[in-house]
A and B are shown apart, each in its own frame.
Chain A
């Protein structure tokens, strides 16, 4: 299990007011408010960015790598997520955006949308041979993979064991430059905070071929200026509509052409569907696309444009691409493996204790404590629910008096005791 819990999603203490808005929305109950500020439990965080969306003070941030990293390499290659195309109005061509990337310091580009097209095809083939473990669950959203590891480990064997379009793009770039002695830097241009974490602690593969992840929002200003300054658009774009569609919900789902697929977006919906998958209620479906962000990657925390507008732009680009002459399929260069080499691990971040008997005792205690709490889930204690507070108490992280109601009761008991004591006289005076 990883020792190093790096996370892109972090808290800016100086901005946190200690309100409790974020704790309720966290799908893994990873946040607590204590000592006037929020604390994110690293083992539980899956980098979904929900807290970034809900924090009223803007104290939750997604860290990505700085553009200055380009200096570390001799040749810099940008691999932009399909979502980048949703950040500029559809009148600005993909070629123009890619040329602008070269304008801000990159030597070359490879579109992640192109890799997505290859993976759509390969996933389609994979589904054909998967008769047993149905439905297969997409592994392209790193948040979903981490969520399954920690909350739905019984579904791990249904996750499609294929690398992501980002990873494939990086491998294609590496293959192209494999005989070069220059230091080649591969930079993912990302709407996604989880990908920042994913390249440092990847799943399914030993190490990532991506060197750094640049948030779209962090380079947006420079990039849009460069877009304005492009004089001649280079013909750089090879992506087709299928790959571009991966930016939005149901892009991947439709692209794998499964007879029967469902596409789910938004973390709450994802959780709901995972529950149903675990219960066996979802039958007769062979593929499930799952995207943690609302609307798909266009809703990613590092994107700039409103997700609904971005989605509309993506759709109109898809239409244009479909209408343009014939779409030339993107080829997979030889020698690149698309499959995972490492197994996913069940991450028992919610387990009370490794010893089952001990865990059982703790649970009994938890039930007892929970029954004594008011059940209002008010959040004043800094835990998302009364149940979560009960859990924190049995884990030894805090005490019952964190609950304002329990505290009041304690004070009342003490007061009663004091009044009682006050009425007593020293024996010598007591007649």
Chain B
């Protein structure tokens, strides 16, 4: 089953809506709470990144009997040094984003820690595609 969300890049207050919606669906499907939490954290971090670092984008979520696959595609600035970006504490977040409690440089780390698979495709000037995979069973 597939779900698609368009994420706006200019309204911070709406950021996280897609993750909340998926979370609700997983609860309706009776997915274990631990898996829901991991999914919620990973997807939320990636969705927020898409809003604060790129200009929004498209999220596709695919559920099959064994996996949850989340693909977040943006056409933002891309990440010049992925290894650096993955490091805890590294952040290029704007002052505005920091004021809202983002920009600790924890997001990508958190995704890595909470997901069962993370793949980032990024080209400077073209955009970033983040693929997150979670196993349905804990």
Residues of A143-170 whose CB lies within 8 A of B? 151, 153-156
For A367, list chain B residues within 8 Å (CB): 1
What does the 1/0 interface line of B75-118 toward A look like (CB < 8 Å)? 00000000000000000000000000100101000100000000
Interface 9-residue window, one of A14-22, A75-83, A274-282:
A274-282
Asked whether A351 lies within 8 Å of B40 as measured between CB atoms, the reply is no
**CB closest residue in chain B, given A387:** B24
A-B CB contact pairs (8 Å), 20 listed: A154-B36, A154-B40, A155-B37, A275-B23, A278-B40, A280-B44, A281-B44, A348-B30, A350-B28, A351-B29, A352-B28, A356-B29, A356-B65, A356-B136, A359-B30, A360-B65, A363-B25, A363-B28, A363-B29, A391-B28
Q: Does A283 contact B (CB under 8 A)?
A: yes
B82 CB to nearest A CB, Å: 22
Chain B's closest residue to A355 (CB) is B30
Closest 8 CB pairs of A and B: A154-B37, A279-B44, A154-B33, A351-B30, A153-B33, A280-B41, A359-B29, A352-B28
> Is the Cβ of A279 less than 8 Å from the Cβ of B40?
yes
Which listed residue (B25, B44, B106) contacts A283, Cβ 8 A? B106
**Contact between B20 and A275 (Cβ–Cβ < 8 Å)?**
yes
Measured CB to CB, the residues of B under 8 A from A are 1, 16, 19-20, 23-25, 27-31, 33-34, 36-37, 40-41, 44-45, 48, 63, 65, 101, 104, 106, 110, 136
With an 8 A cutoff between CB atoms, is A392 at the interface? no
B104 touches A359 (CB 8 A): no
Q: CB-nearest residue of chain A relative to B63?
A: A360
A2 to B86, CA, bound (A): 47
Cβ of B134 to closest chain A Cβ, rounded Å: 13
Q: When the two chains form their complex, are residues B28 and A359 in contact, meaning their CB atoms are under 8 A apart?
A: yes
Contact B28 A351 (CB under 8 A): yes
Residues of chain A within 8 A (CB-CB) of B37 are 154-155, 278
By CB atoms of chain A within 10 A, which of B16, B29, B136 has the most? B29
**Total A-B residue pairs with C-beta atoms closer than 8 Å?**
72
Interface of B is mostly: helix
* Interface positions of A from 341 to 399, Cβ below 8 Å from B: 346, 348, 350-354, 356-357, 359-360, 363-364, 367, 391
Contact B1–A363 (Cβ < 8 Å): yes
Q: Is the CB of A357 within 8 A of B16?
A: no
Q: Point out the residues of chain A lying under 8 angstroms from B36, CB to CB.
A: 153-154, 278
Contact B1 A346 (CB under 8 A): no
Docked-complex contact A283 and B29, CB < 8 angstroms: no
Among candidates B23, B106, B136, residue contacting A278 with C-beta atoms closer than 8 Å:
B23
Q: Which residue of A lies closest to B42 (CB)?
A: A280
Q: How large is the interface on A (under 10, 10 to 19, 20 to 34, 35 or more residues)?
A: 20 to 34
> In the complex, A351→B31 CA distance in Å?
9
Nearest residue in B to A153 (C-beta to C-beta)? B33
- Check B19–A279 contact: CB distance below 8 A: yes
Using a CB–CB cutoff of 8 Å, the interface residues on chain A facing chain B are: 151, 153-156, 275-276, 278-281, 283, 346, 348, 350-354, 356-357, 359-360, 363-364, 367, 391
With A276-B16, A279-B40 known, 15 other A-B pairs at CB within 8 A are A153-B33, A154-B40, A156-B33, A280-B40, A280-B45, A281-B16, A281-B44, A281-B101, A283-B104, A350-B24, A351-B27, A352-B28, A354-B30, A359-B28, A360-B29
**CA–CA, A227 to B44, complex, Å?**
54
Distance (whole angstroms) from the CB of A364 to the closest CB of chain B: 6
Contacts of A353 on B, CB cut-off 8 Å? 30
Specify which chain A residues have a CB less than 8 angstroms from the CB of B16 in the assembled complex: 275-276, 279, 281
A150 CB to nearest chain B CB (Å): 9
Q: Take A278-B23, A280-B41 as given contacts and tell me if A346 and B33 are in contact as well, using a CB distance cutoff of 8 Å.
A: yes
The CA-CA distance from A91 to B71 in the complex, in Å, is 63
In the complex, chain A residues whose CB is within 8 Å of the CB of B1: 360, 363-364, 367
Q: Which residues of A contact B48 (CB under 8 A)?
A: 281
Q: When chains A and B are docked, how far (Å) is the Cα of A185 from the Cα of B30? A: 42
Residues of B within 8 A of A359 (CB): 28-30
For B30, list chain A residues within 8 Å (CB). Answer: 348, 351-354, 356, 359
Q: Give, as a whole number of angstroms, the nearest-CB distance from B27 to chain A.
A: 5
- Least Cβ distance of A322 to chain B in Å? 33
Most chain B CB within 10 A, of A156, A280, A346, is at: A280
Q: Bound complex: CA of A350 vs CA of B24, how far in Å?
A: 9
Residues of chain A within 8 A of B63, CB atoms compared: 360
Question: Please, which residues of chain A bring their CB within 8 A of the CB of B110?
Answer: 280
For the complex, give the distance between the alpha carbons of A353 and B36 in Å: 17
Q: Which of B29, B41, B45 is the one whose CB lies under 8 Å from A352?
A: B29
A169 to chain B, nearest CB (A): 33
Shortest CB–CB separation between residue A260 and chain B, in angstroms? 13
- Kindly list chain B residues whose C-beta atoms are within 8 Å of the C-beta of A346: 33
A281→B33 CA distance, assembly (Å): 18
Chain A positions within 8 Å of B40 at CB level: 154, 278-280
